[in-house]
Every structure is written in structure tokens, then in C-alpha cells.
Amino acid sequence: MTTLILFTFIVLSFGKTWCWSDDYNDYVKYKYTKKSNCNGKGWSYSSESVINRQTYRFEIKNNEIGSIKKFSDIKGSINDRDMYFSFSPNFQSNSFKVLIVETNRPKIIIWIYHKHGTDGLFVGIGCFESDNCRKSISNNYGAYIYIFDKSIIVYSKMDEKWVIDFSNRAVNYETKTIPFIYIDGDDKQTVSCKFTTDLFSGRSYNDPQRYLFTGKIDSVTKIDNNQNDNEETVQIPVNKETRELICIGNKGKNTIKVQFSVKEGCDKYEIRTNPQLMTIPKGKALEFEVFIKPLCSCFVEDIIKLFSLDMKKGTTIESNIKIKAETELSTRLDPDELKEEKKIGEGSFGIVYLGEFRGNKVAIKKMKESDRQQSSLDEFEKEVVMLDKFRSEYIIHFYGAVFIPSKICMVTEFAEFGSLSVLIKKRDISQVSMKLRIKFMLNAAKGISYLHSNGILHRDIKPDNILVVSLDENEQVNCKLTDFGASRNINMMMTNMTFTKGIGTPVYMAPEILNKIRYKQSADIYSFAITMYECFGWCAAYPKSQFQFPWSIADFVTQGNRRTKAEAMTNEQYDLIDQCWKQNPDERIPIDVVVAKLEEL
């Protein structure tokens, strides 16, 4: 699995790229276990290596067979020519290569095996005690070797100092060559790159990555970790920083000063580098961090400017680093993926448009500019967080929201038939059967049950917030709950929570809310009782001919009065409503009982 961030950049004549890892101790350990048969007649060795927490045992005997013992033996041959001369950065898949080096202890054999189709490079260490071989090696290919937990450092007599990094966690070796990292002088902390291939790509893990970038200095080098079509694409997270490293080396004769310049003001993502400016002496290399933070689900494609100043000549060279990335899918939407078709309504939140999002018909609720104060934005984000957690077929599907200040909106499933309130006003009672009206209420009750079982109060249940998605009596779901701007988690509410201005509609408010005393789930039950009254009766609960002002309704309710049975509803239905709008909140039946009784109607 590989990460999707892709860097394309032109490395100038002064620069090299490199990577050095310092965090593989937990993953790759070497254990030299045995020195045997070093008697001048032949040789063999046995050793163990732990790669990615898996132990591999290596054996080579009598110049003939080498094997890796894990779950099965993988064998190949080693001949004399391989032993003495064939160690090179261009070894083939399914082959052994041996480097014999001279040390101040018994002679060491470095045995490297790569199996085609894997991403691992297997390394073994052995001993060698042959006088004849020793002479040849000393004259031609002798070296001093230092063995570390995460690498082998070889100082050869040909004035070459190599690091063999045998952590397959650092580098993907599949069908590629061995990486060699040239060490400049005796400073083992300063590492630059010995170019052997066009590309090494890193492997994707949860922690930050370090890559080995190699290639000709004057070529365009593409760091693309998704070249293999069979590999899974890894997408970067939204609203979180993803960190990558670019390693820049100075191959020139003079000290250079390197600076990155990042474009600012992008609505969809943020990019920063650390450090922004650094001086690199000749023959040295430094790491630069690149952080990208997508603000929505999108494709990222941008350029970082790289400026290098030759401190002696005073000349500056500019080059581009192209960044391409794909984010994970999230509920933070890219506004460019939304297509508005027509205005279909307007409410307290803002204007509602019919639109399209990724081939789906959606409702796009755009926040009014006058409401874009910080408090409103905070409430908007809380609602989005809540909606993102809902998983119920009786709650309108939430696709996501746009958080870009000038384009704030919410995207939900489009309900073809609008709200229950609109249906009551526009359709005659004869056009909507009682069976369908009961189904409307049953679906809504199941939506409320889902909320209450998860500790959520809706706080604004009414026909306006019940959307009709189908008029077919045989469909399982005919309507769904929506508009959770007023919803709150019960556990986050104070026990003495009182009436909040602007929350709910007086017609559907429970008496305890109107009286500004504490309220709980039973307040939703009261609101649902008024909703059932209007749905079963197919009429307004408080007609304006009798209740001209909102406070008339408030006075009527707080005094303990209730509406009489509407003509269109049955006694059983009115009895259920009566059990839900009791003056005492504790006497109202819970929503699960409401669901059961609706199923009996």
C-alpha cells in the first residue's frame, strides 16, 4: 500500500536527493549468531535478521546453496564469480549477490537476496577464512564494515563509502536496484545520495515517511508511489496535516542557500514547508518538511517554488516542485463538485436549492450572508459533526458541507415530495390515505427513536422537518427526519436547561419549554404529538381563526388546555396523541412505546 502524494520536480545541477532513516530500530534488527567451518577449505555461515518483526534465518554453505528459511525455502546458487566480482547495484530479481569485505575481525560476507514480486531485500552476514581469497579481496574489493541495527556501512579500499539499508520499510525494492547512500567523509550523520536508479518509492505507514529519491541530477524526477496498478491507493486525510520529506543535496562547488515559496490564499488546502530557508554547504544534504492540509475532499495540484542562491557567484536558479494528491472522501465537500439547478425553498437556515453532487440529486442549503457570524458558523459546524454520525434510514442522508467562508452550505438527500407541512397544505386529504399518514408518523417516530437511543434531542420536531421521499404505501420508508440545527446531546445539557430563544416553533413547543423550566426527551414527545395531530387530522393544530397570535397558543398550552379530536382522525389515534401531550412530562409515553402503538394502528 503506497501513499498518494506525488512530487514532480527538476533537480538542478547543484542538487541531489537522499534519505536517511533514524526510526527503524523497532522494525529491523540484525543478530550475528554463528561463525562455522571457517577452516580454509570452504565456508558457511548462519545468521538471523528480524525484518518488520519477522525473523529470517540465512544460510549459505560450500559456495553452492543459499536459502531463506521462513515458511518455505527460497533457493538459488552462488558461484565463484558472484562471490568475488558480481556485487553491484544492478543485481537481478531472484538472484544472490555476495560482497566479501575485510574487517579487523573474521572476514565478513554480505549476502543479499531479492525475490521478484516482493517488496523486501533480504540481507545475511557471514564469515570467510580463506588465505587465497583474502589476498584477492584485499587487493581489489576489500573494505571495512560497520554493522548497525538498521543498516550496514561499508568503507571500501576504492575510496567509496556505502550504506546498505536493509529495511524494506524504508524502501520498496520491487524490480528495482539496491540503494546505496554515499557517506561524505567521516561524518556519518551527513549523508548524500549515490545515484543508481531513476526512482525509489517509499512504503506507506501511519507515521511520517522518509523516502530515498534518486535519479540523474538534471532530469525530471517523479516521486509517484502509485505506479503499480495492483497496489492500493492511499489517500491523505482531510482537515489534518500530512507530512512528507524532500531531501536536497548540494553537488556543486559552492555553498548554496535554498528557499521554498508556497502560494497562499487557497480555499481548498494549505501547504507549508519547514524550514523555509536553509544554507547547504557543498557535498552536504538537508531534509525539508512539506506539510499539506486539505480543507475539503478534493484533488490537490499545486506548485512549490524552489529558489537556490549560489553564495559565491550570487546567481539564483528557480525550479518547481509539483504536488499532486488525492484526499479521502469526507463530509467536507469541494464546492466545485456541487451544481445548483434551481431554488426550491427558503428557511431559517438560508436558501435551499435543488442540485447535483456526484450524480445524485441533492438539496443544497446555503447559509445567508447575514448569518455568517462566528457564533452561527460554530453552530453550523456542530450540526455537521452531529449529522456525520447519524446512520439511520429514517433520517435524511447527509452528504456533507462546504466550510469555505464565502460558500458555506449543507448538502443532503433531496426529498422529491417536499416536507409533510407542504403536503398537508397542497394535497387534499382524499389524496393521501390514512394508511400512508400512519406510515409517515411511524417512520418519523423511528427516526426520533434512533436519536433518543443515542442520547440526542431533536428539539424542533414538526411537519416542516419531516421530509416525504415516497408516496408509495408499499415502500418501507416514506419520510425522514431532517433539520438538526437545534439538536443537542442530552449528556451535554444541564439538568436545568431552560427555554432558548429561537429554538423550536411555539405551536410545537412543550409547556415546560414555554414555562422556561428544565426539559428532556419528553419535550420531543410533546412536539411529535402536535405533529401527529396535524398529520392524522390533515389540518393545522391551531388555526389562525382561533389563535391569531403566538402567545395565544402559549397561554392555551401552559394553562393545560389541549385541542379536541379532529374530524379526520380516529379515537385510537387521538388517544395516542393524548398520551404524548400530557402536561406533566413524566406522564408522557417514551418514543419506543409510541412506535409500538403506531404499528398497531
Question: Of 326 and 145, which is predicted with more confidence?
Answer: 326
Which residues on adjacent β-strands are paired with residue 167?
none
- Is residue 127 included in any domain, yes or no? yes
pLDDT in tens, 75-91: 222 232 222 222 233 33
Identify the CA nearest to 511 among candidates 595, 587, 456: 587
What type of residue sits at position 291? F
* Residues 447 and 479 grouped into a single domain: yes
- Per the structure, the count of domains in the chain is 4
What number of H helices and E strands is found in the chain? 10, 32
Question: Of 600 and 27, which is predicted with more confidence?
Answer: 600
Which region among 45-54, 448-457, 468-477 has the lowest average model confidence (pLDDT)? Answer: 45-54
At which of 153, 180, 207 does a domain end?
180
At which of 328, 355, 389 does a domain end?
328
What is the C-alpha to C-alpha distance for residues 98 and 44, in angstroms, rounded to an integer?
Answer: 13
pLDDT at 264: 79
- Is residue 540 included in any domain, yes or no? yes
Q: Is 366 annotated as a binding residue?
A: yes
| Kind plus residue range of the DSSP H or E element containing 436 | helix 434-453
Q: Residue 213 belongs to a domain with what CATH number?
A: 2.60.40.10
pLDDT at 348: 60
User: What is the rounded average pLDDT of the residues 484-499?
Assistant: 45
- Is residue 214 included in any domain, yes or no? yes
* Residues 264 and 349 grouped into a single domain: no
At which of 369, 388, 413 does a domain end?
413
Residue 358 has pLDDT above 60, yes or no: yes
- Is residue 152 included in any domain, yes or no? yes
The residue segments making up the domain with residue 115 are 21-180
Which region among 5-9, 188-192, 223-227 has the lowest average model confidence (pLDDT)? Answer: 188-192
pLDDT in tens, 545-591: 999 888 889 999 999 999 999 999 999 999 999 999 999 999 999 99
* CA dihedral sign, ordered 587, 591, 592, 594: positive
First CA to last CA distance, the chain:
55
* Residues 442 and 582 grouped into a single domain: yes
SS3 for 134? helix
Question: Of 94 and 463, which is predicted with more confidence?
Answer: 463
pLDDT in tens, 160-181: 334 444 333 332 222 222 332 2
pLDDT interval class at 533 (50, 70, 90): very high
